[in-house]
Amino acid sequence: MPEYIKNIKKTLLSDNWAILHKVTFDYRDSKGNWEPQVREVYDRGNGAAVILYNKEKNTVILTEQFRMPTYYNGNPSGMLIEVCAGLLDHHDPETAIKKEIEEETGYHLSKVESVMDLYMSPGSVTETVHLFIAAYSEKDKVSEGGGVIEEHEDILVHEYAFAKAYNMIKTGEIKDAKTVILLQYLKLQGILR
């Protein structure tokens, strides 16, 4: 245990879709003072996300679906444009994201490239998101995608010119952090223009 925390106690608040704990602990600040702290920690497991890109067409595949938390926080439609993503569900990140690609977008890809692992909301959520990029072509399309009906997924699949998708960050049409990061990654690495 780190030398700056002690007396950790967890109280289960919810174990519905994921696990929510109230955590109390003593924290030693940078001046050496011990102070009691209370936090809520939400554990939904780790996830993976991928942006599909086509260099020849200079396009990307993005998804769109209803996200209740965004609606609850003022997004009038609750719809969010984002990269393909999902929880690991006891798989390694690469296996999980290949499964999500086919379920959500309808593309079967055998190769994905890991680019980074990030905490998206470390103040309250334990989740690490493994970010990938993957090249696609029309020959990789095996279905319409749209998600898994049994999981109540209703996912729209969009192919955008890269310049349009990148501009959607500026216009506010894309507000999802993992999507912004992966679009910027493609641009900064010179993969798409």
Q: Which amino acid is at 44?
A: R
Does 193 map to a domain?
A: no
Q: What is the 3-state secondary structure (H, E, C) of the chain?
A: CCCCEEEEEEEEEECCCCEEEEEEEEEECCCCCEEEEEEEEEECCCEEEEEEEECCCCEEEEEEEECHHHHHCCCCCCEEEECEEEECCCCCHHHHHHHHHHHHHCECCCCCEEEEEEECCCCCECCEEEEEEEECCHHHECCCCCCCHHHCCCCEEEEEEHHHHHHHHHHCCCCCHHHHHHHHHHHHCCCCC
Same domain, 12 and 81: no
Question: Which residues fall within 8 angstroms of residue 131, CB to CB, at 6 or more apart?
Answer: 48, 49, 50, 114, 115, 116, 117, 118, 178, 181, 182, 185
Give the pLDDT of residue 1: 67
Same-domain pairing of 64 and 105: yes
Per-residue pLDDT 10s for the chain (193 aa) are: 679 999 999 999 999 989 999 999 999 999 999 999 999 999 999 999 999 999 999 999 999 999 999 999 999 999 999 999 999 999 999 999 999 999 999 999 999 999 999 999 999 999 999 999 999 999 999 999 999 988 888 999 999 999 999 999 999 999 999 999 999 999 999 999 9
Looking at residue 152, what is its pLDDT? 84
Same domain? For 107 and 172 the reply is yes
Cβ count within 10 A of residue 85: 24
* Residues 160 and 73 occupy one common structural domain: yes
My answer on whether 92 and 15 are in the same domain is: no
Are 52 and 36 within one domain? no
Q: Binding site membership: which residues?
A: 85, 100, 104, 153
Give yes or no: residues 58 and 144 share one domain: yes
Structural domain count of the chain = 2
Report the pLDDT value the prediction gives residue 149, as an integer from 0 to 100: 86
Domain that holds residue 39: 5-43
Round to whole Å and give the CA distance between 16 and 55.
42
pTM summary value: 0.94
- Residues making up the annotated binding site for Mg(2+) are 85, 100, 104, 153
CATH number of the domain bearing residue 135: 3.90.79.10
